[in-house]
Amino acid sequence: MSRIRSGLFNAYWAGWTGLFIVPLAVLALLGAPPRPIRAFTRLWSRGILFGLKGIVGLTYVEEGRERIPSEPCLIVANHQSAWETLAFLVLVPNVAIVAKRELVAIPIVGWFLRRSPMIIIDRANGTQALRVMIDESRAAIAQGRSVLMFPEGTRGGIAEPVQFKRGVELLYAKLGLPVLPVAVNSGLYWPHGGARHSPGAVTVSYLAPLPPGLSGAEFMQGTQGAIDAELNRWRDPAVPAAPLRAEAS
């Protein structure tokens, strides 16, 4: 049954995405205005989440949503599957996601993401990629948008310890923004490298925000360390859940 549901969802994903060819053409003729493109990108993401819920039985819950700062901030989250990449477009509207170049190669979706605009980096370029990330993050913040980064650089399994790349520490130092760590357990239901999806509820846990100006060690402990500790709740069911909880569809 799981394989059948996953197959149906994958077919739904392709069909739903295909419907956005017409908006793409219209928006391209209008000069690719960012705000309407972001609205259509969120609509596409909502449709994918709707399909996950209706076909697979996979939904999500949020914990500590009131911890999201009202002003633009740097959001750092662990990365376990494609789920959080698309879900954050809904969870934090108007967010600018730091994404690897390969993501925008996806037909149709990549066009929308590039022009939303997201912060697209080519990790092979090293120092140049860092410069682009910092400059485009500052531009997003000037527009009143928060910046989201998955500092692990690639998706990891639920059992793997969280290991951030050093670029996020540099970005934190350059931006001078509050930081919101976020832990997700999507790998329990949508494992990395697999096409199978399982029913359940992904938990999105917003952790205690950090102020700007911390040392590198304090920043890493408050983000990487806090996220890894939160993931222990799902690695070890004996660890109690946080008291703050809000349901989402």
Structural domains in the chain, sorted by start: 2-240 (3.40.1130)
Amino acid at 116: S
pLDDT, residue 153, reads 77
How far apart (Å, rounded) are the C-alpha atoms in residues 134 and 219? Answer: 17
Task: Evaluate the omega torsion of the peptide bond into residue 23 and state whether it is cis, within 30 degrees of 0.
Answer: no
pLDDT, residue 241, reads 45
pLDDT, residue 245, reads 34
Burial grade of 142 (CB within 10 A; 0-12, 13-18, 19 or more): exposed
Q: What is the mean pLDDT of each run of 10 residues along the chain (249 residues)?
A: 88 97 96 94 96 97 96 96 93 91 85 90 82 94 95 82 91 96 94 78 97 95 95 71 38
DSSP letter for 61, please.
Answer: E
Whether the full predicted model's pTM is greater than 0.85, yes or no, is yes
Q: Specify whether the CB–CB gap between 85 and 103 falls below 8 A.
A: yes
pLDDT, residue 193, reads 63
Helices (H), the chain: 2-18, 21-29, 34-51, 82-91, 109-115, 127-142, 167-175, 216-220, 226-235
pLDDT, residue 154, reads 78
pLDDT, residue 77, reads 97
Q: What is the DSSP string of 171-211?
A: HHHHH---EEEEEE-GGGTS-TT------EEEEEEE---B-
Sheet bearing 58-63, strands edge to edge: 119-121, 96-100, 147-149, 74-77, 179-184, 200-206, 58-63, 246-247
